[in-house]
Amino acid sequence: MRIQFSLSCQKGVIIPINYQSEISNWIFTVLSNAGTELSNHIQQRGYDFSSRNYKTFTFSPLAIYPYEMDQAKQEFRLLGNQVKLSVSFFLDQAFDQQIVHLFRQVPLLLGTLDGQPAHFEVKHWQIMPRPQFKETMQFRAISPISVTTVEEGKAANLYLLPDNEFYDISFFSHAVRRFKAAMQYKSLASLKLLDPSFPMHYKLLGQAKSRLIHLKPNPEGLAQLRGFVFDFEVSMPVPLTEFCYYAGFGEFPYLGFGYVEIKQ
């Protein structure tokens, strides 16, 4: 499911340019209030909201307008009283309304207003229609996609550029690994979710732009992550494409990476 939220705030709120950690923490906090039915559904998938091991979600950058930006302080000053945010989950459609209800109960704490923590409250929302997925599709990365090498003997967190000749290997390896984890490491072939003989293909469209995101302290100990925004075409089994669309492409989607839109 995908939900676009309109969040209201007061004019003059100042937020940092790197705000992904706060939004990620907000989503985890909201989900930790899930009711029994939703929690049981997630536990049957091998996840638990309270321990924050459910990570098959991603979110878009904040849509902020109008604003002023202070490059020296690396922060935005909001000149309006509303921002928009889209959040994407790999969850059953039956829980759409429950998820909306949860987010309406908990404000997002982000930035400051007159030296005090600023509150953003959900005022409006729209559950986005499900697209028709095909074996070959084109996407535009709205938030950076981060992919690291899966080659043995290479240094950890070696970020691959989208035009690297080995990018497709890591790109698909991470996608399948995450999808398999979401299916409790059951055979994707036996579940008829992935045909091992399917010729998966990746193609970069145009040029990629690098983005370095600085993070607040987190359990993974990640101080910063690099990703790239770019347009691309992929051929994958439809269930895998759907998973990546909702759960995010690449690595670290729960930290605000890998949110894409279908390229028109």
239-249 residue pLDDT tens = 999 999 999 99
Distance CA 141, CA 249 (A): 9
Residues in the chain: 264
Residue at token pair 């939900």: 3
What are the domain boundaries of the chain?
Answer: 2-127, 136-262
Task: Tell me the pTM.
Answer: 0.94
- pLDDT for 220: 78
Cβ 251 vs Cβ 146: under 8 Å? yes
Which letter does DSSP use for residue 180 in this model? H
Q: Specify the pLDDT at position 177.
A: 94
pLDDT < 50 stretches in the chain: none
Same fold, 2-127 and 136-262: yes
pLDDT tens per residue across span 80-90:
999 999 999 99
- Fold classification of 136-262 is Alpha-Beta Plaits (3.30.70)
Q: What angle do CA 261, 220, 217 make, to 5 degrees?
A: 90
CATH class of the domain whose range is 2-127: alpha beta
Specify burial of residue 4 (Cβ count, 10 A radius: 0-12, 13-18, 19+). Answer: middle
